[in-house]
Amino acid sequence: MSQLLAGKTAIVLGVANKWSIAYAIAEAYRREGARLILTYQGERLKATVEDLGKELGAALVLNCDVTKEEELAALVTAISGEKLDVIVHSIAFANREDLSRPFLETSRDGYLLAQEVSSYSLVSVSRALAPLMTEGGAILTLSYLGSVRVIPNYNVMGVAKAALEACVRYLASDLGARAIRVNAISAGPIKTASARGIKDFSKVLDGVAAISPLRRNTDPAEVADTAVFLASHLGRGVTGNVVYVDAGFQVMGLPTPD
């Protein structure tokens, strides 16, 4: 099959290391012929992401902490000559203590931080970069089932993902007239830096492998292939959606008796 993203430029926000879902997406986009721009969150990640950018043949690797308006403005300036076709938003953060104690204990600051980084940033990034999508395009974000079901410890992140999925629908409505589609991929649990140290995460992985229709966990490469589909001409009729790439886990009510 010919390269699905040939002639397209994609900006991928959220690579921290080679286990990041954003890295798997960037790899698949490169395979499909896209020109890549990567961004990283602050100096701490600069060297690592620059190295990964080299491996991927990325055209540009730029700094952007999405909570800093001036860094987002500098990013727009740095790429202002580009025609953009695809934006991948693969960013989330909440205070660690809010992912372990009861949700009821969530502080105002912790709630606002999770919302700012994990849902509002999709709005600010879309507003800043959509003007570069002069021939239409696709915006993608990553969500998780904790947006619509109660998942132990996910807490304030579940509320942020619920908001993120609502943002996807409102942005799809606003940007559709400019031929820009907006979708989320709801991925099953994957062992990344954002899963490290989460209480009972191995039990979550084992539970999904036991219960899901496909009887296995989610591979970041299959999330990435769905991200290719949604960014490509093949996804042209899909907007405002949440596509589950989770081995089917979300359809199950009770485990199938064996």
- We find the least distance from the C-beta atom of residue 240 to ligand IMJ, in angstroms, to be 21
Nearer to ligand IMJ, 60 or 103 (CB): 103
Residue ranges that bind ligand IMJ, judged by CB under 6 A:
92-94, 96, 99, 144, 151, 153-154, 157, 189, 194-195, 198, 204
Please give the residues from 28 up to 47 whose contact with ligand NAD meets the rule CB under 6 A: 41, 45
Closest CA to 140 of 187, 177, 94: 187
Residue 174: CB minimum distance to ligand IMJ, A: 25
Picked from ligand NAD, ligand IMJ, none, the partner binding residue 67 (CB below 5 to 8 A depending on kind) is: ligand NAD
106 binds, among ligand IMJ, ligand NAD, none (CB under 5 to 8 A by kind): none
The least distance separating ligand IMJ from the CB of residue 121, rounded to whole angstroms, comes to: 13
Question: Is residue 144 annotated as a catalytic residue, yes or no?
Answer: yes
Catalytic residue among 23, 40, 111, 144: 144
What lies within 8 Å, CB to CB, of 199 at 6+ separation is 100, 153
Q: What part of residues 192-231 is at the interface with ligand NAD (CB under 6 A)?
A: 192-195
User: Which of 140, 141, 41 has the alpha carbon at shortest distance from 85?
Assistant: 140
Active site residue ranges: 144, 154
